[in-house]
Amino acid sequence: MRIAVGADHAGVPLNVRVIQELRATGHAVEDFGTHDASAPDDYPDYALRVGEAVQTGRAEIGILICGSGAGVSVAANKLKGIRAVMCSDTYTAHQSREHDDCNVLCLGARVTGVELALEIVRAFVAARFTGEERHLRRLQKIKKMEED
């Protein structure tokens, strides 16, 4: 799977581990950085880069990491067609893909431990949208909201 990954300065250590995990399991990772935890930067910049990769089809899904996960989630959800979800458990990670067709996972490096974060990533990456009528109906309503 083609996966776009990005993190601000707060997400650097977890970002490194997530990228290692994804590559070790055979995924093609487009790494949007950052790699310098000492230089404060702005999480919306990474949300935009990862979101655009997903919007254009360069990546099938994206993963964003900041301190809490909230900032990148808010920013990514401003992009048309992006359904970003902040997860702190594996159930939400797979359910968000299976029912809500979420295409960007957001993690908080300061609030989620590394091993749990990697399990969340695995659950999100492995899950697939079910395409059930009720889920399609709800997604159509979301798309209409984006257009209005």
Rounded Cα gap, residues 124 and 104, in angstroms: 9
Sign of the C-alpha dihedral computed for residues 88, 93, 95 and 96 taken in this order: positive
Instruction: Identify the H or E element spanning 43.
Output: helix 43-56
> Of 11, 20, 9, nearest to 69 (Cα)?
11
What is the full DSSP assignment across 71-117?
HHHHHHTTSTT--EEE-SSHHHHHHHHHTT---EEEEETTTS-HHHH
| 3-state SS, residue 148 | coil
Which residues carry out catalysis?
Answer: 66, 99
- The C-alpha atoms of residue 137 and residue 48 are separated, in whole angstroms, by 27
